[in-house]
Amino acid sequence: MAIHMGIMCESCRKLYFVATSRAIKPSVSAAEMYRLKCTPPCPEVTEFRKDSMRPYRVSEDAFRSGYAKEGEYQFVEIPKPPQPP
**Residue numbers at the binding site for Zn ion (CB under 5 A):** 9, 11-12, 38, 42, 44
Provide, rounded to whole angstroms, the least separation between the CB of residue 7 and Zn ion.
11
Instruction: Note the residue count of the chain.
Output: 85
Q: How far is the CB of 83 from Zn ion (least distance, A)?
A: 35
Supply the minimum distance, in Å, between the C-beta of residue 79 and Zn ion: 29
Strands in 33-37's sheet, in edge-to-edge order, are 24-26, 33-37, 45-49
